[in-house]
Structure 1
Amino acid sequence: MSDECERGDAALTRAFSLLGTRWTGLLLGQLGRGPAGYRELSRSLGKVSDSVLAERLATLTDAGLVSRTVSDGPPVAVTYALTPAGCALMPALQQISDWAELHLPA
């Protein structure tokens, strides 16, 4: 295997270890529409549990794809938004979505 293939495989492994967890792609897609609060995200994703949503948001924040902004209250509000790195991922997610429409059964 060439060095280039090995580097590509390593990069894909890193990307899918982050993006391949359940709810992550849908969460990023929702934030691609604009900043949102925790409850708004929870409602938009449907059956995701609060603990999983909190974990996914923390992971994406730690990875630098999502920012978390706390606004002084009352009431205190927390808003999540894509960072520039998260925004850079949106075309790739759109391509995956387009591919799925063409090649995966509904």
Structure 2
Amino acid sequence: MREKQTPAPDDERACSVALTRAFEFLGKRWNGVLLANLMDGPAGYAELKRAVSGISDSVLSDRLSQLTAAGLIERDIDGGPPITVSYRLTARGQALLPALQELSAWAEKNLDS
């Protein structure tokens, strides 16, 4: 039987720092919710606005800009007519899907409604 190895203090510190950075970004109100809404494919601004009840136009624009700047989503413009804008996950954003799905499963099992 293999013994469970205890992480070195430096490994624990690095993990703590990385998790802190991840939760500061994903825990910012609406960021994780917006990413989750893009799991099934691209969505337009109005579609995201309807999907995330309670978010203001200015906050939605701000969060979409932050997610784009972080390289997690891309903004696609279709020249139309009519001109349409949609948002989709990048490869970097798609890499978050397993973690978001695990968090969702954990929340369903462990958090009261």
1:24 deviates by: 1.2
CA distance in 2, matches of 1:93, 1:63: 17
In the alignment, which residue of structure 2 is the partner of 1:56? Answer: 63
Number of positions where the alignment pairs a residue of Structure 1 with one of Structure 2: 106
Q: Secondary structure at the match of 2:107?
A: helix
In the alignment, which residue of structure 1 is the partner of 2:75? Answer: 68
In the alignment, which residue of structure 2 is the partner of 1:25? Answer: 32
CA distance in 1, matches of 2:63, 2:77: 18
Identity of aligned residues (%): 52
In the alignment, which residue of structure 2 is the partner of 1:36? Answer: 43
CA distance in 2, matches of 1:101, 1:73: 41
The two structures, once aligned, show a CA RMSD in angstroms of 1.1
The runs of at least 4 consecutive aligned structure 1 residues that moved more than 4 Å come to: none
Kindly indicate which of the two structures has a greater share of residues assigned to helix. 1
Letter of the aligned partner of 2:57 in structure 1? D
In the alignment, which residue of structure 1 is the partner of 2:5? Answer: none
Give the alignment's TM-score, normalised by structure 1.
0.95
CA distance in 2, matches of 1:103, 1:62: 33
Match of 1:88 among 95, 104, 107: 95
In the alignment, which residue of structure 1 is the partner of 2:9? Answer: 2
Q: Secondary structure at the match of 1:12?
A: helix
Give the alignment's TM-score, normalised by structure 2.
0.89
What stretches of structure 2 of length at least 5 have no aligned partner?
1-7
1:102 deviates by: 0.8
In the alignment, which residue of structure 2 is the partner of 1:102? Answer: 109
Q: Deviations over 1:12-32 (max 9, x none)?
A: 111111100111111111000
